Structure 1
Amino acid sequence: MGARSTGREAALQMLFALEQGTSSAERVIMHYWRLTPGDPEGREYADRIVRGVEKDLKKVDETIRKASVNWRLERMARVDRNVLRLGAWELMNGGDVPRAVILDESVELAKRFGSEDSSAFVNGVLDRVAEDLGRVDRDRAAASKAAAPGGKGGGGGGGGGGHRPAKRGARRP
């Protein structure tokens, strides 16, 4: 597992702890790393996410609310809610990380820590968040441009690279 992947996992655990208690992000971060070893790059990335989510929580939650039609944030499973916060914050602030990577990593966290339905739910909501934010990966943008009338490339850009959202309740292969 790469440094950012382990950082995201640590960030999820810290966000979960942050939501359960009355401590600040700084105290949760300090306590977490006192008990858990981590490589410096993953640790730095995790800390950045946790601090960012705490700082931008209202904006992050509002973004999730808009994307999660018929789901109140407060009624979501705690794990799902925090995976969504992590992924939404990254989509809002992680310009160097491709959309597909953020969605795939979030889905993996949901599979690992959530319920059987968590991964499809997280995938669907974060895909809507990404669309709402205008986050289109370069591969998807190039394929769309090539497929547009007058675009170069003669069609569909069959090289993959785009992220296909799962329908709610659908299983990914």
Structure 2
Amino acid sequence: MADPITKPTTPLKRAPQSRTGLTDTGVKKAADKSARTRSREFAMQALYQHLVGRNTAESIDAFTRDLAGFNKADSAHYDALLHGCIEQALALDSIILPLLDRPMNEISPVEHSVLWIGAYEFKHCLDVPYRVVINECIELAKAFGGTDGHKYVNGVLHKMAPMLREAEVSSQAR
């Protein structure tokens, strides 16, 4: 009888993985992203650097503008998000904090950055419908955050929208 430890084995064949609900490559194609979506992605990553590394907006901005694909982003929207969120961090946190079910230091830096973007766009980017703000932030949290971070972001932003966009939210609730 052969020793099971030294018995030669044949290589394992892996079953193909299901890609239900995804594009051919398994992710959203970069060509399909709008310039505004790209600007939010770069801004979220830049705000993450600010929250984690305490880097200045200027140094983060210089670094981010050199990243591949930045030329396809809406640089004016990126500037507004990066500089606006950092300059108004305390005001944005004062809007966000009462809507949380835990202390801010227990929120991941990714979700914190996404919530800043949502709050900033609700307040200052009135050309962006509130539902678009929520959807874009959910997509950011899905792409960069933890497993269920997008659900948390969704819940917080749905409570925030009527506070900051009362007329718009109530007009669409009818």
Normalised by the shorter chain, which TM-score bucket? Answer: 0.7 to 0.9
Q: TM-score, normalised by structure 1?
A: 0.75
Matches within 5 A, 1:10-159: 10-39=42-71, 42-68=74-100, 70-137=101-168, 141=171, 144=174
The answer to whether the 8 A contact 1:107-1:123 is kept is yes
- Tell me, in whole angstroms, the C-alpha distance in 2 between the residues paired with 1:35 and 1:96: 27
- Tell me, in whole angstroms, the C-alpha distance in 2 between the residues paired with 1:76 and 1:85: 12
Moved over 3 A (4+): 134-138
The structural deviation recorded for 1:31 is 1.3
The answer to whether the 8 A contact 1:3-1:39 is kept is no
Q: Give the letter for the 2:108 counterpart.
A: A
The residue that corresponds to 1:162 in the other structure is: none
Larger radius of gyration: 2
* 2:162 match: secondary structure: helix
- Tell me, in whole angstroms, the C-alpha distance in 1 between the residues paired with 2:140 and 2:172: 29
> What's the CA shift string for 1:3-22, capped at 9, x where partnerless?
00000000000000111223
Residues 135, 49 of structure 1: alpha-carbon distance in 2 compared, 3 angstrom cutoff: farther
- Tell me, in whole angstroms, the C-alpha distance in 1 between the residues paired with 2:61 and 2:54: 13
Q: For structure 2, which runs of at least 5 residues remain unmatched after alignment? A: 1-32
- Tell me, in whole angstroms, the C-alpha distance in 2 between the residues paired with 1:67 and 1:136: 20
The answer to whether the 8 A contact 1:79-1:110 is kept is yes
